[in-house]
Amino acid sequence: MSDPGSDLAARTASEVRVAVGRLHRRLRLVNEGGLSASQSSALARIVKGEADTAAALAALDGVRQQSMAATVAALEQDGLLVRSVDPADGRRSILRATPEGEALFLGNRAARQEWLSTALRERLDEAELATVLEAAALLQRLTEQ
Q: Quote the DSSP letter at residue 49.
A: T
Q: Is the pTM of this model over 0.75?
A: yes
Query: Are residues 48 and 57 in contact, defined by beta-carbon separation less than 8 angstroms?
Result: no
φ/ψ of 11, rounded to 5, equals -65, -45
Task: Report the domain count for the chain.
Answer: 1
Q: State mean pLDDT over 22-51.
A: 91
| Residue-range definition of the domain harbouring residue 81 | 33-143
Q: Has residue 62 been placed in a domain?
A: yes
Task: For residue range 72-122, list pLDDT tens digits in order.
Answer: 999 999 999 999 998 888 888 999 999 999 999 999 999 999 999 999 999
The enclosing domain of 56 has a CATH number of: 1.10.10.10
State CA 108 to chain mean position distance.
11
Question: Cα(53)–Cα(55) distance, rounded to whole angstroms?
Answer: 5
